């Protein structure tokens, strides 16, 4: 009798079924935080691979934030008024709010002097408000 193939690739299609609720929650949290499939797999351990994570997120309707090697993802908390402005501008320009917000931050940071001045002003306003 021939042995079954026990390679990871032969188990991959069914591995997603073996994630417990805490692992699914952790994977969803990490995906929402911007972690890549390899990063999520490493965090979960247990022999998980990026391929397993791609299958997991597909089957559970999650999504991964696409990013390049020199990028990171991080969540932002903004007021509903600010978000409404970003959403309105994004719709007018045919993009999504996340992409527009990222582009705005990149543009601000690209001008070093103006960025430093803006940071000083915002940091100063926050310090005054805390007093």
Q: Which segments within the chain are labelled E, that is strand? A: none
Q: How far apart are CA 131 and CA 128, in angstroms?
A: 5
Q: Report the chain (131 residues): mean pLDDT per 10 consecutive residues.
A: 44 57 90 88 91 89 79 84 96 92 91 90 74 64
Shared-domain flag, residues 87 and 50: no
Decide: 32 and 72 in contact? Cβ < 8 Å. no
Q: Is position 64 within any domain?
A: no
Report if pTM > 0.75.
Answer: no
pLDDT of res. 47 = 87
Q: Is position 84 within any domain?
A: yes
Q: Is position 69 within any domain?
A: no
pLDDT of res. 130 = 66
Q: Is position 40 within any domain?
A: yes
Q: How far apart are CA 46 and CA 76, in angstroms?
A: 31
Query: Count of domains in the chain?
Result: 2
Q: Is position 75 within any domain?
A: no
pLDDT of res. 12 = 46
Domain of residue 19 covers 8-59
Shared-domain flag, residues 54 and 18: yes
pLDDT of res. 13 = 46
pLDDT of res. 14 = 52
pLDDT of res. 11 = 45
Which residue, 61, 2, 7, 5, is CA-closest to 31?
61
Shared-domain flag, residues 54 and 21: yes
Q: Is position 89 within any domain?
A: yes
pLDDT of res. 44 = 93
Q: Is position 71 within any domain?
A: no
Q: Is position 74 within any domain?
A: no
């Amino acid at each position: 009798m021939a042995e079954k193939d026990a390679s990871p690739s032969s188990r991959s299609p069914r591995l997603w079924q073996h994630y417990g609720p805490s692992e699914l929650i952790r994977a969803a949290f990490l995906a929402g935080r911007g972690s890549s499939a390899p990063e999520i797999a490493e965090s979960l351990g247990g022999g998980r691979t990026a391929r397993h994570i791609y299958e997991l997120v597909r089957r559970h309707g999650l999504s991964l934030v696409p990013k390049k090697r020199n990028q990171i993802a991080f969540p932002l908390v903004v007021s509903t008024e600010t978000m409404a402005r970003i959403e309105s501008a994004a719709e007018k320009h045919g993009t999504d709010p996340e992409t527009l917000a990222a582009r705005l931050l990149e543009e601000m940071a690209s001008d070093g002097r103006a960025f430093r001045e803006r940071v000083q002003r915002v940091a100063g306003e926050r310090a005054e408000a805390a007093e």
